[in-house]
Structure 1
């Protein structure tokens, strides 16, 4: 038995034994159980929106190498690959990334309010180059309802990342704090180092600096074969400051800047790995920068004013050059003339710059028996895209107005929402076009007062034309349109089975239709114009005062291509999935968990995949005494039984067994 197998057996046996032993048999253990223990993730039962929050504790527990890996446990979210920044993408409810493009503009990604991510870059992935260590919280909103404050055309969903603050480490008290994190992963010889310096000169002034270096070689699948052809080095850094002032600390100004870069030499242009030989290799440099300036005014004596003004700038630059002799198509190997110096796509330099100003106010007031939480706002957006060898450049300018009102009447909450957006788009070599759209919806939730609640929503949105379509005039006045209907129930109550327990459940059924599609074609380049997605999402958590807990997530989806004459399954439909986590906590000192992820066989696709069951083990230990006092030690084992499989929708095989060790300490 080799070292890895021994570690796997020890961790599996330890976790299983801990979960199986009754509480009375563990009284002699040096760590007392924590009372009112919670599961790893809170189920948000108090909202009609299909929303999930991955907090700081779970981010650290998952030891993710990419941002995508932070959200793959959310029901309805599926990764297109995901273990490397290159060639990865996020699919939500059947939309988002696919095997050809890293984005279809139906899944939005925001960092501290800044809109990031590329348009439809061919076979390059989302290019969401940033590091999980920079963030304290990730929020995922699935579907259309709940997104009108953040953008238009969000059919699949929204991923919002919030970066860390200095006060997260200083506790709001003046002084210095230094946090150092070191991580190692066995599969791909993966190393990561994150250094955070937090400084509060006063209670009202704080600064944070974060530098993270992440490096990974080629990973192996469950059979020991290489995945892809190259690893990556990913340096990232973040600086952030905040100043609070005024009577009652009503005013605050914050400024943040983050920078992530990647430099690859002689790597396949096709990061999805579907046809690397045809396109050949490239030298590719990628740089992603985000700056956010935010002002808040929240006077304690005026509930009608809670004003936020956010000015953001996102800059993404991709420079690449074909490596001569690396394509199998040179010399006519593909049956058609090969352009001298490589295909236009392999020599294309891309740059996206997005500037956005959002001014939003929250007002709390009562009118008769109705309580209002009213959010109104205005948004100005300008996106500039550089002319490339393979894609048109131009400018997309937008003005949006939105209003969302949570109206509460006893146990009933109604939330109407409206968003109006107007657009001017064009390029120097193309025409100029004007478009506008009015979109919105309504959601309702009724709480019965006994823990049970029912909810539902109806919503409509439009995805206005994008710069990638400038070369197709027929698409430049045609927005993609979608509507959705959702209905569900939730339950949240303590003392369900025994004193000190806590149970939360949320089940959501959705139906989404999308038409006037401009972003998809079949493999034979026939346009796809209509589609439908339906599904069930389930989140549940149960915890005991003894520290034991169970988390359950499930997702069932059915998709249909409804284009006249092309009726078939929707190729973006994920496999049905069930994810169960069993664990136990001893206070905040020790947390052991065993996660089982089962994907059902998926044969409703032109590329069917067999079923798979993957086991992940995690342990977090915070020693209270001894030389490691104050240190956080995390040990994880992903794909513990070294299963050789390819997740549905992925274009690369999944990594085999990976053991991760993380050491972190705050000084």
Structure 2
């Protein structure tokens, strides 16, 4: 006979059971949004990644275990496995970018401002820089979690114009290594790869002098020579040297540690010498070569007051500062156009320095309360920001000041129904410098509504509708019309999810999530010769885990899009190819994890630059001895592009690397 408990009682019982067993490190796969569930449905197993079935938001979370497992050299290589995400040249930082649902990076600019990126809350990344991509100049070793929000759902807390989505990077904490106990912990990771003779070293020192104070220092050095594709041809502009460092400190004070102050700083630097100005490699080096120095840093100071006496107070007061500096000098004689009629235009482009400084002050409070039998999880915030852009010889400088107010409320009716309304108001003032002096004001209301209904069987259905505006940017100061015309977009989503245990046997877990979406954009200023854009697609995620240790993860993306110019429709230039990613794996206790990953893209002929289909295979193994001299030492081995195939993923401008062997060793002392 199966006994049924209320949610609170069941959670207390399951917590007691977990603490009494030897499998504390495993994940409990329970859809806690169900009002009731049977206790014998608890299965403690895990695969590479959880599917976020408990929310209507299209969100994927890449956690520390998967970050370690992927042995990624760039942030792009971490998020390219997320459905709906397509990476432009992800194997090296330069010329890379993130494209979500057809928006974000492209082969001309590093960003179209439709994908927001934040590090610990600091807004990072540049505006439009011609033939330069700068979003991804940071090392994955600095972070313990990457969350990717696709579409407008969930974006109103983070900014406006997130038509593609939001990427949230969270840095490591000292307590992740000390476990909250007083003392020192040191973690060292060494990694090597054959294709490009890659080498990476990550050193982390965590110190907790008291229970109420912790500090972490992290230095990472990542280097790679030029890689080769499957045919043995050198991939241009694929070499890099990326030293990065981070420091993070947190102190608790007050009764029962209700108050805390956290300071984090990250810094990544790149020094390129005699490299093509065009980091995408699409112009046959007509722009010539440059010496380029890039320095990206982000500093965040956060005060938190999480009241133990009132559920109405969980206050964050945060100041963040992000600085991105790009200094470049033309290498004389490197351009075939030097001295020609077009050179007076090109010379200031390749001999220009760029700098973006973004300061942001955020006050946000989270409140949990009841109105009748309805529970609320409400976030209310006020944000003031300033972006300053250096006045460069080839790009306008100025300031972009914004004031934003937002309210988001997760309303749980207790019967399986949850609705989430969100609204954001943003007011903007842009002032130009020098040649493009001007003063422009804009404001907009934006928001959306999502709803989710969970059935007792583990099924749930959800849908959402949202509207946002992408405000003018400093780069458009040379076109006065653009400075008073924000881009508008609406997004609709509809889907279902399933999460339950004991589906096919008495010791398994199955999770599914399918999301169909439609996005329309008008009043376009980011793309030439396009008045409106219409996209639609389907994203699929699936996860199956068995108590024997077998697991499989799958995600797929199908996308279509059109752009309209004077009423004439053509295929949307930034549509990604249809894709499928499947992982089959087996865990042998806590000692060994082996997996085989298949990556397949369909032929993409809905484009002026079509690409053929491809499928690539990746093998990974993690071995962690549980006893002996190497106890808890982490040995990882991987083979990427196992069959050494030559292919260029759609939207990328460089071929993918050929077969690459990766080996890493990590140990926490």
TM-score per shorter chain, which class?
over 0.9
Does the 8 A contact of 1:269 with 1:276 survive in 2? Answer: no
Structure-2 change in CA distance of 1:598 and 1:230 (3 Å): closer
Mapped pair 1:285 → 2:293: yes
CA distance in 2: counterparts of 1:635 and 1:620, whole angstroms: 7
Does the 8 A contact of 2:94 with 2:237 survive in 1? Answer: no
Residue 647 of structure 1 is matched in structure 2 by 649
Q: Secondary structure at the match of 1:213?
A: strand
Residue 243 of structure 2 is matched in structure 1 by 235
Identify the match of residue 428 of structure 1 among 433, 458, 474: 433
User: Which residues in structure 2 correspond to 1:415-494 (within 5 Å)?
Assistant: 415-429=420-434, 430-494=437-501
Q: Secondary structure at the match of 1:470?
A: helix
Q: Secondary structure at the match of 2:481?
A: helix
Residue 343 of structure 2 is matched in structure 1 by 338
Mapped pair 1:111 → 2:119: yes
CA distance in 2: counterparts of 1:655 and 1:222, whole angstroms: 7
CA distance in 1: counterparts of 2:317 and 2:286, whole angstroms: 48
Does the 8 A contact of 2:237 with 2:279 survive in 1? Answer: no
CA distance in 2: counterparts of 1:451 and 1:509, whole angstroms: 20
Q: Secondary structure at the match of 1:279?
A: coil
Shift of 1:413: 0.3
Residue 316 of structure 1 is matched in structure 2 by 324
Residue 534 of structure 1 is matched in structure 2 by 536
Identify the match of residue 82 of structure 2 among 49, 64, 74: 74
- In the superposition, the TM-score normalised over structure 1's length comes to 0.93
Structure-2 change in CA distance of 1:579 and 1:221 (3 Å): same
Residue 560 of structure 1 is matched in structure 2 by 562
Shift of 1:126: 3.0
Shift of 1:614: 0.4
Residue 378 of structure 1 is matched in structure 2 by 382
Shift of 1:315: 0.3
Shift of 1:338: 2.2
Per mean C-alpha deviation after superposition, the further-off stretch among 619-628 and 501-510 is 619-628
Residue 207 of structure 1 is matched in structure 2 by 215
Query: Deviations along 1:315-357, whole A, 9 cap, x unmatched?
Result: 000000110100011243xxx34239x5221011000000001
Structure-2 change in CA distance of 1:177 and 1:44 (3 Å): same
Q: Secondary structure at the match of 1:75?
A: coil
User: Which residues in structure 2 correspond to 1:30-179 (within 5 Å)?
Assistant: 36-179=44-187
Query: Deviations along 1:380-438, whole A, 9 cap, x unmatched?
Result: 01000000111100000000000001111121001010000000101133210110000
- In the superposition, the TM-score normalised over structure 2's length comes to 0.92
Per mean C-alpha deviation after superposition, the further-off stretch among 619-628 and 61-70 is 619-628
CA distance in 2: counterparts of 1:489 and 1:542, whole angstroms: 17
CA distance in 1: counterparts of 2:171 and 2:135, whole angstroms: 18
Shift of 1:638: 0.5
Query: Deviations along 1:570-602, whole A, 9 cap, x unmatched?
Result: 011000001110001112211000000110001
Query: Deviations along 1:1-55, whole A, 9 cap, x unmatched?
Result: xxxxxxxxxxxxxxxxxxxxxxxxxxxxxxxx99732111000000000000000
Does the 8 A contact of 2:273 with 2:291 survive in 1? Answer: yes
Mapped pair 1:596 → 2:601: no
Shift of 1:128: 2.5
CA distance in 2: counterparts of 1:355 and 1:310, whole angstroms: 11
Residue 12 of structure 1 is matched in structure 2 by none
CA distance in 1: counterparts of 2:300 and 2:508, whole angstroms: 42
CA distance in 1: counterparts of 2:549 and 2:655, whole angstroms: 36
Residue 205 of structure 2 is matched in structure 1 by 197
Residue 12 of structure 2 is matched in structure 1 by none
CA distance in 2: counterparts of 1:276 and 1:240, whole angstroms: 43
CA distance in 2: counterparts of 1:372 and 1:563, whole angstroms: 45
Does the 8 A contact of 1:320 with 1:349 survive in 2? Answer: yes
CA distance in 1: counterparts of 2:641 and 2:137, whole angstroms: 25
Residue 22 of structure 1 is matched in structure 2 by none
Shift of 1:563: 2.6
Higher relative contact order (CA 8 A, sep 6+): 1
Shift of 1:118: 0.6
Identify the match of residue 272 of structure 2 among 260, 264, 280: 264
Does the 8 A contact of 2:193 with 2:663 survive in 1? Answer: yes
Does the 8 A contact of 2:189 with 2:667 survive in 1? Answer: yes
Mapped pair 1:357 → 2:364: no
Does the 8 A contact of 1:37 with 1:546 survive in 2? Answer: no
Mapped pair 1:184 → 2:186: no
CA distance in 2: counterparts of 1:75 and 1:197, whole angstroms: 34
Q: Secondary structure at the match of 2:286?
A: helix
Q: Secondary structure at the match of 2:145?
A: strand
Shift of 1:263: 0.7
Does the 8 A contact of 2:409 with 2:421 survive in 1? Answer: yes
Q: Secondary structure at the match of 1:133?
A: helix
CA distance in 2: counterparts of 1:308 and 1:337, whole angstroms: 52
Structure-2 change in CA distance of 1:650 and 1:337 (3 Å): closer
Shift of 1:247: 0.7
Residue 511 of structure 1 is matched in structure 2 by 518
User: Which residues in structure 2 correspond to 1:14-29 (within 5 Å)?
Assistant: none
Gaps of 5+ in 2: 1-24, 27-42
Shift of 1:140: 0.3
Q: Secondary structure at the match of 1:219?
A: coil
Does the 8 A contact of 1:100 with 1:122 survive in 2? Answer: yes
CA distance in 2: counterparts of 1:90 and 1:331, whole angstroms: 36
Does the 8 A contact of 2:91 with 2:238 survive in 1? Answer: no
Question: Aligned pair count?
Answer: 626
CA distance in 2: counterparts of 1:630 and 1:508, whole angstroms: 39
Per mean C-alpha deviation after superposition, the further-off stretch among 120-129 and 365-374 is 120-129
Q: Secondary structure at the match of 2:292?
A: strand
CA distance in 2: counterparts of 1:102 and 1:649, whole angstroms: 12
CA distance in 1: counterparts of 2:454 and 2:631, whole angstroms: 45
CA distance in 2: counterparts of 1:604 and 1:126, whole angstroms: 28
CA distance in 2: counterparts of 1:414 and 1:160, whole angstroms: 23
Q: Secondary structure at the match of 1:121?
A: coil
Mapped pair 1:638 → 2:640: yes
Residue 575 of structure 1 is matched in structure 2 by 577
CA distance in 1: counterparts of 2:237 and 2:322, whole angstroms: 30
Does the 8 A contact of 1:414 with 1:445 survive in 2? Answer: yes
Per mean C-alpha deviation after superposition, the further-off stretch among 254-263 and 119-128 is 119-128
Residue 29 of structure 1 is matched in structure 2 by none
CA distance in 2: counterparts of 1:565 and 1:436, whole angstroms: 28
CA distance in 2: counterparts of 1:559 and 1:445, whole angstroms: 27
Identify the match of residue 218 of structure 1 among 210, 216, 226: 226
CA distance in 2: counterparts of 1:428 and 1:498, whole angstroms: 67
Does the 8 A contact of 1:598 with 1:611 survive in 2? Answer: yes
CA distance in 1: counterparts of 2:432 and 2:106, whole angstroms: 27
